């Protein structure tokens, strides 16, 4: 049982907490300068770890990807003392070897969103490092946990996939599109040419805002189907939908197994520093005496320690 100060926020789709067996706990309804988060946040413990569950799309999946209140979500988790965020989300696959039902510990992002406010800091010049958008310490922690999974081998991009119960890819580039419509076939081929491995709609600005909030952030992507670059092999749209839902259920089951395995051992998180936890140390470029006092107070939760 962990006695550390680590608090883990889990951001996922509807029902993830229920499938994790974590939806019994204290329900918190925080308010933020950016409004209410997508859903009430459930605070519970598992294996002695403080867990905060948030449904990204809201109860009943009411927020489309462009309408998710990303700033409110991350700010609320920061208010609650969350130190690490473990996110998950369904994606399409842009590579033959990233099969539906696999898991991907994402390491890079290509951001194609354009409608979403992607910073907390609108009245100051704040520039965080974002070359590596996902926390390397958290990625190591998740990859270490794969050794506890049944018949698992973490695969590098150039390794041939092997039939096994759970396949976890050790890295992948996630192309984040605005949506809500899916890609055209020409766009899908372009994303592949760019080096994308996965296509989805929710990793940004979530990952960038977590960095600005000095919260370590990692994502487990769940491919549910091949994007439209690859012809579907089913006979009807209904059959395709049923196939995608089946793949999502399988990937979610695999995802939960990985999350539970990781939560049982926080040694890596406790022993290895996360660069995100000091992301603002060199990031505030504005002269602090020129930043409006009301803005400093509004964002006290995020940057207050740098104004003492």
Nearest to 196 by CA among 99, 107, 102: 107
Cα angle value 175/137/30 (rounded, 5°): 75
Q: Which of 111, 225, 265, 294 is catalytic?
A: 225
Tokens 């039902």 label which residue? 101
Burial of 51 (0-12, 13-18, 19+ CB in 10 A): buried
How many CB atoms are located within 10 Å of the residue 147 CB? 10
Residues of the binding site for substrate: 201, 225-227
d(CA 75, CA 37): 9
Active site residue 227: yes
Exactly one of 227, 265, 289, 294 is catalytic; name it: 227
Burial state string for 4-19 with b = 16 or more CB within 10 A and e = fewer than 16: eeebbbbbbbeebbeb
Residues within the annotated binding site? Answer: 14, 56-57, 201-202, 225-227
Catalytic residues, by residue number, are 225, 227
């Amino acid at each position: 049982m962990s006695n550390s100060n680590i608090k883990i926020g889990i951001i996922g789709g509807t029902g993830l907490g229920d499938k994790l067996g974590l939806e019994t706990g204290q329900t918190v309804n925080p308010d933020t300068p950016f409004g209410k988060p997508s859903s009430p946040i459930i605070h519970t413990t598992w294996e002695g770890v403080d867990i905060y569950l948030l449904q990204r799309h809201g109860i009943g999946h009411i927020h489309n990807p462009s309408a998710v209140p990303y700033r409110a979500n991350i700010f609320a988790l920061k208010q609650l003392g969350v130190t690490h965020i473990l996110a998950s989300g369904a994606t399409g696959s842009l590579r033959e070897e990233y099969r539906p039902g696999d898991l991907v510990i994402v390491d890079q992002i290509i951001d194609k969103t354009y409608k979403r406010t992607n910073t907390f800091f609108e009245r100051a010049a704040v520039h965080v490092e974002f070359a590596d958008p996902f926390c390397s310490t958290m990625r190591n922690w998740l990859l270490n946990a794969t050794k506890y999974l049944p018949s698992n081998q973490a695969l590098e991009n150039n390794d041939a996939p092997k039939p096994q119960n759970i396949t976890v890819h050790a890295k992948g580039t996630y192309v984040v599109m605005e949506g809500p419509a899916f890609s055209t076939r020409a766009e899908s081929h372009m994303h592949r040419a760019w080096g994308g491995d996965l296509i989805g709609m929710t990793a940004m600005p979530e990952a960038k805002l977590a960095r600005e909030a000095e919260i370590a952030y990692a994502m487990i992507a769940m491919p549910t189907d091949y994007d439209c670059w690859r012809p579907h092999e089913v006979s009807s749209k209904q059959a395709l939908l049923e196939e995608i839902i089946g793949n999502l259920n399988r990937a979610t089951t695999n995802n939960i197994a990985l999350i539970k395995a990781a939560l049982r051992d926080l040694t890596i998180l406790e022993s290895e520093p996360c660069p995100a936890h000091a992301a603002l140390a060199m990031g505030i470029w504005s002269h602090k005496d020129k930043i409006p006092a009301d803005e400093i107070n509004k964002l006290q939760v995020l940057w207050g320690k740098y104004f003492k």
